[in-house]
Amino acid sequence: MKSYLSILPFLIVSSGANADNTVLKPFSLGVGLYQSVISVDDALYANDELSGLGFSLGYSISDQLAFRATYFSLEHDDFSEVDSSGYDLVGYVGTGLSSYGFKAYVGAGFFKDKWEVATFSESFSGLQVNGGLGYNWDSVSIDFNLSLRDASDYEDFVNNILGDKISASAVTGMLLMSARF
């Protein structure tokens, strides 16, 4: 009986070490619905709305710091001959980024967006701010995030076409389902 009592403190300490159920899984590989909206302040020019798929690779350095790269392929909602493809590179700070449970984050990064129609193409790039919410299960996570992009390249493009001076804003959103490992 005494030999069993001598290992009791070890069992108590070792069982307490896993009591918080923290499972850090730093990598994620996902696919999701991606939407981009370029809105202008001119009533004569319709907003550009593009939708399609996004593919992402994420890495969490800790439960509070992560990075994500996303490749997207979109089609214009009104003019199907207009295609958009590009990538986002974003760093995040937040909570719950690699452990089980709820997560919330904000971040900033870079985007590159290329629109193509037949033989014509135009590229847009710049900085963006990003924020999101999600939930991590053991092997799967779901995220919804929004980005506000620097719209100056989009404004230049529209102003060159219309010959006017208008303001634009660029917002993207993605609903992402990822495998965690």
* Whether the predicted pLDDT of 10 surpasses 50: no
Nearest-10 Cα torsion for 175, 176, 177, 181: -160
* Whether the predicted pLDDT of 143 surpasses 90: yes
> How many C-beta atoms surround the C-beta of residue 130 within 10 A?
22
* Whether the predicted pLDDT of 41 surpasses 50: yes
Q: Which of 140, 137, 177, 143 lies closest to 21, judged by CA? A: 137
Q: Which of 137, 171, 131, 134 lies closest to 151, judged by CA? A: 171
Q: Which pTM was predicted?
A: 0.85
* Per-residue confidence band for 176, with pLDDT thresholds at 50, 70 and 90: very high
Encode pLDDT of 155-167 as tens digits.
998 888 777 788 9
* All domains of the chain in start order, with CATH: 24-180 (2.40.160.20)
Share of the chain above pLDDT 90, in %: 75
Encode pLDDT of 117-136 as tens digits.
999 999 999 999 999 999 99
Where b means 16+ CB within 10 Å and e means fewer, 40-79 reads beeeebeebebbbebbbebebeebebbbbebebebebbee
* Per-residue confidence band for 17, with pLDDT thresholds at 50, 70 and 90: very low
Contact 111, 126 (CB under 8 A): yes
Query: Residues with Cβ < 8 Å from 11, sequence gap 6 or more?
Result: none
Encode pLDDT of 100-109 as tens digits.
999 999 999 9
* Whether the predicted pLDDT of 98 surpasses 80: yes
Query: What span, in angstroms and rounded, lies between the C-alpha atoms of 170 and 136?
Result: 29
Strands (E), the chain: 27-40, 48-60, 65-76, 83-95, 101-117, 120-136, 140-149, 168-180
Amino acid 23: pLDDT: 64
* Per-residue confidence band for 2, with pLDDT thresholds at 50, 70 and 90: low
Q: Which of 40, 52, 92 lies closest to 174, judged by CA? A: 52
* Whether the predicted pLDDT of 24 surpasses 70: yes
* Whether the predicted pLDDT of 15 surpasses 70: no
